[in-house]
């Protein structure tokens, strides 16, 4: 039986107790110059971007991309992975895996920019950041908390909206996260992408990633990447849809990891009153940024 995680804080940012317990190790992680970091607020399109990047790195070879699950292909910096040698269920830091991995590595993180291990900046690593509009991000996060027992209990939908607005959720405030990374892109090698753009015009966004990674593919390969990173294909891909591992903690019958993959699903969740309150609060929290999101296409 897996218990829901307790939380702690690092510099005011809510993280799981487990992450807090290995924080020194996370902070001192040694990045390499050719590491690529994929950074997101949780549920903003991480897995989608990971699969896209891997398809690019493997030059569109689907079989190569299915060599391992997405969690094994790209270590999740601050997280834990099931220890296959242990019964009952136990976990070990993913970092152990990352450290043993040959270069070039692609690493996933949900850390806000100020908590990214300094070695990534020292090594001038490239980072792809993906942001998703707050309302869809919140809806996706709520359903993920319901199905993933490694996360704290979300409470009711109403309660979860409140937690999200106050930033008392894992990886902290969505508002600070997207704004912090937006600012950082002027100082570091960061490609800042939006989930909504990826949905509207995947080919165009893949082209941006190609350019950023200084890679080139022909039109046939590009078409293949667009096809294989579509929601419909990824939903059925066991190497990308999280059905191959974390079975003790993720219950896809409550809500699948690949849930809807849409822009605007928030409309099916927010009441008129909730929406009004959220918008008013949003305006205040986002008044100090030039960052603009689309909540529908
Ligand atoms: S995690 O756990 O933080 O790594 O989750 P993450 O991958 O960031 O986000 C999961 C949401 O992304 C949707 N998704 C996609 N949308 C469109 N196209 C593709 N290919 C795709 N792959 C994953 C996934 O369905 C989750 O969103 P929701 O809204 O819950 O469906």
The answer to whether residue 82 scores a pLDDT higher than 90 is no
Query: How far does residue 159's CA lie from ligand 1's centre (Å)?
Result: 22
Alpha helices in 116-214 (DSSP H): 119-122, 134-147, 157-166, 174-184, 195-200, 202-212
pLDDT at 123: 98
Tell me the pLDDT band of 90, cut-offs 50, 70 and 90: confident
Phi then psi for residue 77, to 5 deg, are -35, -55
Tell me the pLDDT band of 146, cut-offs 50, 70 and 90: very high
Q: Which atom of ligand 1 is nearest to the CA of 40?
A: 8
User: In the chain, pLDDT over 90 holds for what percent of residues?
Assistant: 91
Mean pLDDT on 248-259 = 96
- Which residue has the CA at smallest separation from atom 18 of ligand 1? 231
The residue extents of the domains of the chain are 17-285
Query: How far does residue 241's CA lie from ligand 1's centre (Å)?
Result: 9
pLDDT higher at 145 or 247:
145
User: In the chain, pLDDT over 70 holds for what percent of residues?
Assistant: 99
Q: Record the pTM.
A: 0.97
Count of H-run helices and E-run strands, the chain: 15, 8
Q: Is 110 a catalytic residue?
A: yes
Task: Out of 50, 110, 140, give the residue to mutate to test ligand 1, the one with the largest number of ligand atoms within 8 Å of its CB.
Answer: 140
pLDDT at 96: 87
Terminal Cα-to-Cα distance of the chain (whole angstroms): 42
CATH class of 17-285: alpha beta
Mean pLDDT on 214-234 = 98
User: Across the chain, what does the average pLDDT equal?
Assistant: 96
pLDDT at 2: 66
């Amino acid at each position: 039986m897996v218990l829901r995680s307790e939380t702690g804080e690092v510099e005011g940012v809510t993280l799981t107790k487990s992450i807090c317990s290995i924080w020194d190790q996370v902070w001192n992680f040694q990045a390499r110059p050719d590491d690529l970091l994929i950074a997101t607020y949780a549920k903003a399109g991480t897995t989608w971007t990971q699969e896209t990047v891997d398809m690019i790195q493997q030059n569109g070879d689907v079989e190569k991309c299915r060599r391992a699950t997405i969690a094994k292909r790209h270590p999740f910096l601050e997280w834990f992975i099931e220890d296959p040698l242990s019964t009952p269920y136990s976990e070990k830091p993913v970092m152990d895996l990352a450290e043993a991995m040959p270069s070039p590595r692609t690493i996933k993180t949900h850390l806000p920019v100020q908590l990214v291990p300094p070695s990534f900046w020292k090594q001038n690593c490239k980072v792809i950041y993906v942001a998703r509009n707050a309302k869809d991000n919140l809806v996706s996060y709520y359903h993920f908390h319901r199905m993933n027992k490694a996360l704290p209990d979300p409470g009711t939908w109403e309660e979860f909206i409140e937690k999200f607005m106050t930033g008392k959720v894992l990886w902290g405030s969505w508002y600070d996260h997207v704004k912090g990374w937006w600012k950082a892109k002027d100082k570091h090698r960061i490609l800042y992408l939006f989930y909504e753009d990826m949905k509207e015009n995947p080919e165009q966004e893949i082209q941006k990633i190609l350019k950023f990674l200084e890679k080139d593919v022909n039109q046939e390969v590009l078409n293949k990447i667009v096809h294989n990173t579509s929601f419909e294909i990824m939903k059925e891909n066991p190497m990308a849809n999280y059905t191959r591992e974390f079975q003790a903690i993720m219950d896809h019958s409550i809500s699948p990891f690949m849930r809807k993959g849409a822009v605007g699903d928030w409309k099916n969740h927010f009441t008129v009153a909730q929406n009004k309150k959220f918008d008013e609060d949003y305006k205040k929290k986002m008044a100090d940024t030039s960052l603009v999101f689309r909540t529908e296409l």
